[in-house]
Chains A and B, each alone.
Chain A
């Protein structure tokens, strides 16, 4: 049994369909850990990823969906890990193994309480930047509407907020009029995303945006934040009511 104190955390990345001696590699590794007295291990299946071969495996592509990434993670003492590593390396095959020092604050005994959600600091009355992104409604990113993909990207980068507007008429770099034609099924109206956050955070997102926006316009301007507040109590009450 693990005790509180220093330990090692090992992560092994394999593909879901990877084989080891006729059975799936992740199951073989999990069995190996189980029968060698490791105090606990977790197998997580990714929903998308890429590895050394640089092929993107996602659940969206049926033929690549079987090669989804699987991660096996366990925490043990340094001595135990040293003992297991040679065999694990053989089992992981082409996969990757990483390891780092960790501190066991509390060994697992019973269910842990979920950590309090981090609350972003309220910002008010400060200088910030507004980024406006002009794209078309039909623009796609990995099969999804580009504006949705950008909103998801911004959210995962902890950007303060974004609003998507749909225009009714417009034209852009390619001189083609984008219009909401009543009889035309493929609506290609102009889309504007307006994003507000500090310059640093927006600058950090730009390389990602650069890849996503194949055509369009991105501009930046100065804004003053007057108020940016979120009522946590109200939001929590609303969530409880939904349950």
Chain B
């Protein structure tokens, strides 16, 4: 996989509680990205936030936590366009934003991670 020059950064914001087919939505999105051969995706969990519904997302002691989740995906515009229809279907409530980035370095080494797991 090669990625260089101009690319797009897609950020998807939603809640940790959000589900897709009984699975966490963030997992479903990462799997979808892999399926579509998107260069990479990372999921980050925030500690507090609020969004479209003006409902504060934060950790609850007794109930399951609903903290903000941000999935960040970087690839060419063309590849991300393929992902958008799927995201549209999956994200009921949330925010999807795209911005321009310039790729400086995108590398991997065969076998470097093999000892990690």
- Taking beta carbons and an 8 Å cutoff, which residues of A are in contact with B? 131-132, 134, 136, 138, 165-177, 184, 186, 188, 190, 192, 206, 209-210, 213-222
Contacts and interface: CB of A to CB of B under 8 A. Distances in A.
Contact of A186 (B26, B74, B116): B116
Contacts of B116: 136, 138, 186, 188
Contacts of A165: 44
Interface stretch (B50-58, B76-84, B88-96, B105-113): B105-113
A132 B42 CA distance: 12
Contacts of A221: 9, 99-102
Contact of A222 (B26, B100, B105, B113): B100
B30 A171 contact: yes
Contacts of B110: 174
Contacts of B109: 174, 214-215
Nearest to A170: B42
Nearest to A217: B106
B113 A138 contact: yes
Q: Which 9 A-B pairs have the closest CB atoms?
A: A173-B108, A170-B42, A218-B105, A172-B40, A219-B101, A190-B42, A218-B104, A169-B43, A215-B108
Contacts of A190: 42-43
Contacts of B43: 167-170, 190
B117 interface: yes
A167 B44 contact: yes
Interface centre among A165, A209, A210 (most CB of B within 10 A): A165
A134 B40 contact: yes
Contact of B44 (A174, A192, A215): A192
Among A131, A176, A215, A222, max chain B CB count under 10 A is at A215
Contacts of B45: 167-168
Nearest to B24: A169
22 contacts: A134-B40, A134-B42, A134-B74, A167-B42, A168-B26, A168-B45, A170-B30, A172-B40, A173-B39, A186-B117, A190-B43, A214-B112, A215-B109, A216-B107, A216-B108, A217-B3, A217-B39, A217-B40, A217-B106, A219-B9, A220-B103, A221-B9
Contacts of B72: 192
B61 interface: no
B7 interface: yes
Contacts of A220: 101-104
